[in-house]
Copies of this chain bind each other. A is one copy, B any other.
């Protein structure tokens, strides 16, 4: 290998790291927008974000960067696609190829529309008035169609967008796996409904003081491994996790005094994302080996800690006394089993983020179908609220009471995140598959969790998933770690093993 080649490799990596600095600036502006920004400042913030995202894009499309990557891709450094240099070159090229296809003006237009759209969405949701959000969504869809055409696709324009979140996934394949999942979920949900058993969920709607919720949630996040020395937790409207640098991962939540679940499981969820981000290689920050592999795998980490750990009986065996101490009036007279049952109430509901583990994926199927129809023009934005409500009747036998808890409940479309929703369901599949493997390799997770020993699981995930970055494509990574391609079966097995005894099926 020549010195020259090594120099070119170094230049390409330095170039990517520069663009990561700008991307972190953009993340900082976006975090602030969603947690701190005075509402009238949104328009100017949109200008700032648009300008910076344009600079990020400019950095990616710089011709000499393309030349370096082309030279490197044809060199021995790229021979093994899973080596450090091979994976780095492969993924930088993939990202750059996507960027080159997008005109700068479109990138900036989408960034600006995303900020304005989110602002309009917040206002519309507050008033439960979809009409006021409608023009923003129409505008965003037009831009996303342009994006799909610019990037190109073999089968569906939707694939061009999906690829942003789940590289190399195809909507046809996702449709297949979600159909298989739905076919097995529907009978399970029906059996549960017919069981006649129902937990007393009113205990979760007692008074949980916000300050105590914050303290309890923060302590739980720290205990499972979110590092608050290198991160923050703040309130927001629509919770998210974002990374502003190698030592700056920020999670958010929203508090509801009359609903324990919302912030607590939300915090565990975002902490799961955060633990992935904090487990990435610091020395590779801004390069593919220091970046999460896909949103599906990212979601597997949040779901794993939120559900497979956080909603498990062993977890509450470990934590319930503390919960009772923190919320004596709400939980002092509640038995552990009753609390556990209430936290695992399976019941068709209106709001995705509050859904139980069994019905959750049906919420995703609805969004996945609707956003494809919107993008392809098979459904007009004006008809969306009606189609939304109809889908909820069809899949969940439930009728949205208004748009705020209906079509306006999620931020994604307002922010241009079309093609994002299916990654939630893929994450659920992946979480169950990884958890089963970890359980096998660590010799029984239940005992560890009941003892409050979360470190072995976190280290296992750190070694198998987090520290790998983008060395392997997502599907390959899962296959290597679990020995199987991604399947709906581990999730169904997990759900049946959990809910059959609980509901006496």
Binding site for B on A (CB under 8 A): 18, 21-22, 24-25, 28-29, 32, 36-41, 43-45, 47-48, 51-52, 55, 228-232, 244-248, 285
Copies in the complex: 2
**Subset of 12 A-B contacts with CB under 8 Å:** A21-B47, A24-B44, A25-B25, A25-B52, A28-B48, A32-B32, A38-B230, A38-B232, A40-B247, A41-B248, A44-B247, A45-B244
User: CA–CA, A24 to B39, complex, Å?
Assistant: 16
Contact partner of A231 (CB less than 8 A), chosen from B24, B29, B38, B246, is B38
- Please give 12 more A-B residue pairs, beta carbons under 8 A apart, in addition to A41-B245, A41-B248, A45-B244: A18-B51, A24-B44, A25-B25, A25-B29, A28-B28, A36-B232, A38-B231, A39-B229, A40-B247, A43-B247, A45-B248, A55-B55
Distance to closest chain B CB from A224 (angstroms): 18
User: CA–CA, A273 to B1, complex, Å?
Assistant: 60
B contact residues around A229 at 8 Å (CB): 38-40
User: CA–CA, A43 to B244, complex, Å?
Assistant: 12
Distance to closest chain B CB from A218 (angstroms): 14
Assess whether B38 is in contact with A51, with CB atoms less than 8 Å apart. no
Contact partner of A230 (CB less than 8 A), chosen from B21, B41, B230, is B41
B contact residues around A22 at 8 Å (CB): 51
User: CA–CA, A39 to B230, complex, Å?
Assistant: 8
Assess whether B40 is in contact with A21, with CB atoms less than 8 Å apart. no
- With most chain B CB atoms within 10 A of its CB, the pick from A41, A43, A230 is A41
Residue of B nearest to A47 (CB): B21
Contact partner of A246 (CB less than 8 A), chosen from B32, B36, B44, B248, is B44
Distance to closest chain B CB from A241 (angstroms): 14
B contact residues around A29 at 8 Å (CB): 25, 28
B contact residues around A28 at 8 Å (CB): 28-29, 32, 48
Distance to closest chain B CB from A322 (angstroms): 25
Assess whether B48 is in contact with A25, with CB atoms less than 8 Å apart. yes
B contact residues around A228 at 8 Å (CB): 38
Residue of B nearest to A248 (CB): B41
Distance to closest chain B CB from A23 (angstroms): 10
User: CA–CA, A229 to B18, complex, Å?
Assistant: 35
User: CA–CA, A39 to B47, complex, Å?
Assistant: 29
B contact residues around A24 at 8 Å (CB): 44, 48
User: CA–CA, A62 to B245, complex, Å?
Assistant: 30
B contact residues around A230 at 8 Å (CB): 38, 40-41
